[in-house]
Structure 1
Amino acid sequence: MTHQLLHRLVQGIQSGEIIPYLGPGSLSDVVHKETNEPIPATSDGLILAMNGGKPMAPKLMWEFPRAAMNLELKKGRKFISRFLTETYNHDNWTQSRLHKLLADLHPPLVIDVNRDTQLQDLYAETPHTLIVGVARIAGTDYRYRIFQYDSGEYREVSNEDVDASLPILFKPMGTPRPSADYIASDADYVDYITELMGGFAIPGYVKEHRLDRHYLTIGLRLTRDTERMVFTDMIYGAGSPAGWALIESPTVKERRFCESKQVEIVEASLTELMQALESAGAAVQPTGG
């Protein structure tokens, strides 16, 4: 039954009816090419990397935004931005198998709440639109920047000038490229979520595109309020069911939350999903002759 469901979900991703929503677990196979250290993506991984490999106080270890806020107050906002840019803005990370399989399906929209550049690298030969979340900025009501990618480079475009026909990479929590913008500390999240709830963190044409669509979370745990608040507003206007959450061993808290949002839990592994993605990718590959 799970096998059939996964294949149906992959078909939905291909058709655009289902929007992939990537969390930290989607990067679980990515390691540094020289040290073999895993890429900092989970909350704990980011905190340890940000703090020189040392744990912080237990109350700060609860989640990355809280720890980032603590260090921002001590060292400044630029410290957090510099850490994230130095972590992700290089080519020393191995390629994620999941991201490659997803990119090969050419989905119309992917929401990626990680801050790495895996999808951007995989879309290097594909014209696309990149939407990047921003926070605590003056001079605009919006909490995003829109970049159009063509001929090997990004250029910033306005809401009015965006090409709605291009595939969309939506990076709400930021990325180092083309401009280092991040949602990281508690203060960032408070500002971003406030404007997200008010409708100012998602471009209008994306709001239209997402109406009655469904979502599939991949590598996202829904145990913390921050992730759940962002997810709730990102999927506003979804169809019924709102989507599916790939969680191999869900907690009671996750079950309760997903039920309240009309999200069905799929108790399957990332490996099982990738097998379904591989089958779909093989089916669309051109044959020789």
Structure 2
Amino acid sequence: MTPELREKLLAGLRDGSIVPYLGPGVLADVRDAASGAPIPADSDSLIIAMNGGKPMAPKLMYEFPRAAMNVELKRGRSAVTRFLNKTYGDTQWTRAAVHDWLKTIAPAYVIDINRDTQLQASYAGVPHTLIVGIARIAGTAFRYKIFSWDGSSYQRVEQIPPGRPILFKPMGTPLPEGDYIASDADYVDFITELMGGFSIPPEVKELRKGKQYLLMGMRLNRDTERMVMADMIYSAAQPAGWVFIPEPTAKEQRYCKKIGLEIIDGDIFEFIGAAVPA
């Protein structure tokens, strides 16, 4: 990465023209405060944690939504929700270097596909809006909930208050309620409505026009994550932005060229000047 590109990215994150898009890799240095175990964030680690520390059958290890669907069919949807609530809501984790760095920049709009609460903690001292993805909810065509944070608690609202930072967590969070997009059925419903325009509030549809994006901590070799991302960044500028991918595969290179993302062959921890997790 050239010094000029680095300054361009930092300036864009600060002025809001570039939107951070956070994937599981931004949590690579996070550990359980009690045991020192790494936080399960990527697909494989989530599956193993959900299965009591053991891998599942090879066909289920392919992707977390498939494994979560298997658990849901056997033990009910609530079993997956309980696992995610315990993992991300009841366990104390160390802080991520990326989140500490992002807190100093305080972008006005952030997309975070992780299900932990560290992004929300970074904005705890600032009134903000939280958008949480939901799926398979009867009585509404919309696939999101909006919450307003006043500095002490979240309150459900119908519209986004103006002039506040917006935190969009499409895959869910335990706070203020344990809502998640996890199983195959969740993703099918959420992505279907995302493509139809019902998974994103109208204010965000307007806000995102002409933005560029900096994808951090995610690979682009999984169809599910790519489908979510492509619709989340709809109406982006051209080129659409940048993505950190160390040693990108040919598949990732083709996809990024198609969608208009420039690959930065490097690591997000190097970009922020933090130690790369072992």
**TM-score between both structures, scaled by the size of structure 2:** 0.96
Give distance in 2, aligned partners of 1:92 and 1:175.
15
Aligned position for 2:164? 166
Give distance in 2, aligned partners of 1:245 and 1:267.
8
Look up the equivalent residue of 2:258 and give its one-letter code.
S
Aligned position for 2:15? 15
> How do 1:115-264 residues align onto structure 2 when only pairs under 5 Å count?
115-159=115-159, 162-264=160-262
Look up the equivalent residue of 2:149 and give its one-letter code.
Y
Give distance in 2, aligned partners of 1:254 and 1:105.
29
Give distance in 2, aligned partners of 1:151 and 1:123.
9
Aligned position for 1:285? none
Look up the equivalent residue of 2:166 and give its one-letter code.
I
Instruction: Answer whether contact 1:135 1:143 (CA < 8 A) is retained.
Output: yes
1:92 equivalent in alignment to 2:92: yes
Gap runs ≥5 in structure 1 = 277-289
Instruction: Answer whether contact 2:19 2:211 (CA < 8 A) is retained.
Output: yes
Aligned position for 1:29? 29
After TM superposition, where is structure 1 displaced by more than 2 Å over at least 4 residues in a row?
1-4
Instruction: Answer whether contact 1:21 1:217 (CA < 8 A) is retained.
Output: yes
Deviations 1:66-122 (A, max 9, x none): 000011000000000000000011361000110111121110100000000001112
Give distance in 1, aligned partners of 2:117 and 2:95.
10
Give distance in 1, aligned partners of 2:187 and 2:180.
10
Offset at residue 3 of structure 1 (A): 3.7
Look up the equivalent residue of 1:212 and give its one-letter code.
G
1:47 equivalent in alignment to 2:25: no
Aligned position for 1:275? 273
Instruction: Answer whether contact 2:17 2:212 (CA < 8 A) is retained.
Output: yes
Aligned position for 2:56? 56
Look up the equivalent residue of 2:17 and give its one-letter code.
E
Deviations 1:167-221 (A, max 9, x none): 0110000000001100000000000000000000000011111000000100011
Secondary structure of the 2:59 match is: helix
Secondary structure of the 1:189 match is: helix
Secondary structure of the 2:190 match is: helix
Instruction: Answer whether contact 2:147 2:154 (CA < 8 A) is retained.
Output: yes
Distance 1:50 1:91, change over 3 A: closer
Look up the equivalent residue of 1:2 and give its one-letter code.
T
Look up the equivalent residue of 2:178 and give its one-letter code.
A
Give distance in 2, aligned partners of 1:45 and 1:172.
20
Give distance in 2, aligned partners of 1:220 and 1:271.
13
The count of aligned residue pairs is 274
Deviations 1:229-284 (A, max 9, x none): 001101100001111011111111111111100111011112222129xxxxxxxx
Give distance in 2, aligned partners of 1:136 and 1:99.
31
Offset at residue 147 of structure 1 (A): 0.1
Instruction: Answer whether contact 1:21 1:112 (CA < 8 A) is retained.
Output: yes
Offset at residue 2 of structure 1 (A): 3.1
